[in-house]
Amino acid sequence: MTKTILVTGGAGYVGSHACKALAAAGYTPVSFDNLSNGHDWAVKWGPLVVGDVLNPGDLDAAFAAHKPDAVMHFAALIEVGESVKYPEKFQLTNVTGSLNVLQAMGRAKVGRIVFSSTCAVHGDVGGALISETSPIAPISPYAKTKAEVEGVLADFSVSDGLKAVALRYFNASGADPDGEIGEAHDPESHLIPIACQAALGQREGMFIYGDDYDTPDGTCLRDYIHVTDLAMAHVKALERLDAAAPGVEAFCLGGGVGASVREVLDCVKKISGVDFPVTMQSRRLGDAPSLVADPRKAKTVLRWTPSHSDLQTIVKTAWAWHQKH
């Protein structure tokens, strides 16, 4: 019998790619999304339940109707800058919303969850590679909510026997290589989509936020990881939970290689063939100089092998998607 997975935030960027990977692996993904940031067109591999994690009744109805075997929990607010301005919104959606999901799982006797976390729970490690054992020291309200939920998962593993995996993403990027889905945030704040929009003439140009960092070319280094590779890690994490004992296990999902803002923009210019204007700006509040993963644990324990995460493939798939979308 096909296993059903309830995917909160399944109409969003990473969630929709996870649904595609789940379907390819033989699961039925049921997307649970309030469509505030997600898109109904991104739900293609299973049913869509329009509901809100802040409404326990919506969650109970989804569990009753679809009887999922496990949950993948993506539904959250994600914009770091917005979290600094409106921390209460982030506490509510990300922390209370996650508690609601866990309590609904308890009522429905569902004991396995893969949680969408972030490398930002580790804060600024001063340029060292970030692994699961790096200190938890979130800086932004957004990252604090993700760290808090990881703690709640650990508590529920003791109280309720919950089995959980927390996947700490580095910079999710790129688009489905088949062009079926891709990144579509509104407003957009991420580097690669903004560069693609600039190349398409949808904005007059763009800014680099700071070239005075202590990095090889002075701009920030990030570990860009293809969203299809992230999606595959979720399927592997789910399969690991089948045989796991109660507890919460974390994995850092990055490629282990940093690319600078300048390198990314050069790559977008080369692939698009458009030399869009780029203006230097002062540093953006909250940006760490360098965030690069040590992904050895995910590679050995989950047997996860990123295969789309070289910068060329990330930018090519993002560019193809933005041209169409």
Task: Candidates 48, 164, 220, 311: give the one binding ligand UFG (CB under 6 A).
Answer: 220
Kindly write out the interface string for residues 108-147 of this chain, putting x where it contacts ligand UFG by CB under 6 A and - elsewhere.
Answer: ----------xxx----------------------x----
Q: At closest approach, how far in Å is the CB of 122 from ligand UFG?
A: 9
Task: Candidates 48, 75, 110, 191: give the one binding ligand UFG (CB under 6 A).
Answer: 191
Task: Candidates 89, 269, 284, 299: give the one binding ligand UFG (CB under 6 A).
Answer: 284
Considering 142, 169, 213, 224, which one is annotated as catalytic?
A: 142
Q: Is 292 in the site for ligand UFG (CB under 6 A)?
A: no
Q: Where in 24-43 is the site for ligand UFG (CB under 6 A)?
A: none
Q: Is 72 in the site for ligand UFG (CB under 6 A)?
A: no
CB under 6 A: which stretch of 9-17, 157-165, 183-191, 296-304 binds ligand UFG? 183-191
Q: Is 149 in the site for ligand UFG (CB under 6 A)?
A: no
Kindly write out the interface string for residues 261-280 of this chain, putting x where it contacts ligand UFG by CB under 6 A and - elsewhere.
Answer: x-------------------
Q: Is 169 a catalytic residue?
A: no
d(CA 257, CA 238): 26
CB under 6 A: which stretch of 103-111, 126-134, 156-164, 284-292 binds ligand UFG? 284-292
Footprint of ligand UFG on this chain (CB under 6 A)? 78, 80, 118-120, 143, 171, 189-191, 194, 206-209, 220, 222, 261, 284, 287, 291
Residues annotated as catalytic (active site), given as ranges: 142
